[in-house]
Amino acid sequence: MAKVEMERLLMGPGVRRLPVREGRVRGALYLPPGDGPFPGIVDMFGSIGGLMEFRSALLASRGFASLSLAFFDYDDLPNTTENLDLSYFEEAVEVLLAVPEVIPDRCGAVANSRSGDILLSMATLLPAVKAVVGVSCSTIALGSTLIYKGKVFKQGYDMDQITFEKTNRGPWVGSLQQQFTTDNPAMIPVEEADEDTHFLLAVGGDDPWGFQHSLAPFRERMLSHNRHNFETVLYPGTGHIIEPPYNAFNYQSFHRHIPTKEHLTKGIIFQWGGKPHSTCTAQEDFWRRMRTFLMNHVQDESPWYQQYLTQYTPKTPPN
C-alpha cells in the first residue's frame, strides 16, 4: 500500500488578493504580478452563494485582473435571491474598472449556472461589459425578479414549479428544459446588447438542469436579429459542472440551496451528470477557449489598450 500527498496551488507567484468592500460591492480582487494594465473580469458563481474564489485566483495567474463577486449569502448581502438589483453588478463593474492596474474602458464577465441570467443582463444593459462567458447557464431569468434602476427588468421563472425525477443517486430536474423557448417572456433580450459585445456559452450534453436546451433558442434569437457575435459549445457526456481542469470529477455533491414546492431546502444531495473522461476533456478544452476569448475581446479589442501600446515605453533596467 502506497500513499502520496499532493498540494496544488491555485494562486501563482506574485498574484495579489485584495478584499473588496466598496459601497455595496463585496468580494475579492485578484491581480497578476506587475503593474498592468490587465484585462478585467467579473467572476460569479451560482446558487451556492457566498464567495467562490478559486477561478479568479487561476485567472489572475494567467494575466487577468479578476473580481470574485458575491451577490447573496455573504457578509452583509441578502440571504436569498428573490429580488436582484442589477445596479449592484453595475457598481461592481465600476469598482473593477477604477482599479489603476485594470484596462479602464471595458471588461469581461464569467458566470456559472444560476447567475447566468445576471450575466446576460449585464451584457444587455452595461456598455462596459464586452465579453461574457456563460458556463452551464440559463438564458432565462430563474427564480428572481431582476430589477434595474427601480424597474422590473425581468420576472423570473418560478423555481417552485420545477419537478424532480427521483433516481437512485439523487434528484434530477425534470421540467425546466420546457422553459427554454425564444418567446418565453423570462428570456433575457440578448439581442439588445451592443454589437461589439461578444458571448461564449458552454453547456454539457448531460446537464441534469437541462440548460443544454437553452443553446438553440439563444442562437435562434440572436440570428433572427442578424447578430453573429456569439459562440456556443455543447460538450457531449459532460454534466453541469464545467470548471478549470485537473480537479476531481464531481458527479454528485451537497447543494446548499434548492427551491422546492415546499420551501427553500437548505441542503440536498444533487447529482450533476456527466462521465469522468468526457468531463475532464471538456474542462481542458473550455479553460483554453475561455481564456483566449476573454483576452481577445477584453484586451486586444480595447481602443484604450491599443492607444496605450502606441505610447508605451518599456522600462530600461539600470546599468
Q: Which residues pair with 38 in a beta bridge?
A: 102
**Half-sphere exposure (CA, 13 Å, Cβ side) for 217?**
22
Of 198, 207, 278, 297, the catalytic one is: 207
Separation between Cα atoms, residue 177 and residue 278, nearest integer Å: 22
Of 198, 240, 257, 297, the catalytic one is: 240
Of 47, 61, 68, 113, the catalytic one is: 113
The answer, yes or no, to whether the previous bond of 185 is cis (omega within 30 of 0) is no
* Burial grade of 229 (CB within 10 A; 0-12, 13-18, 19 or more): middle
Is 113 among the residues known to form the active site?
yes
User: In sequence order, what DSSP letters do the residues of 286-298 get, joined into one string?
Assistant: HHHHHHHHHIIII
**Best CA proximity match to 243, nearest among 208, 209, 286:** 286
Separation between Cα atoms, residue 258 and residue 271, nearest integer Å: 12
Which residue has cell 441578502?
Answer: 78
H/E element holding 170? strand 170-173
Is 117 among the residues known to form the active site?
no
The amino acid occupying position 273 is G
Q: Which residues are catalytic?
A: 113, 207, 240
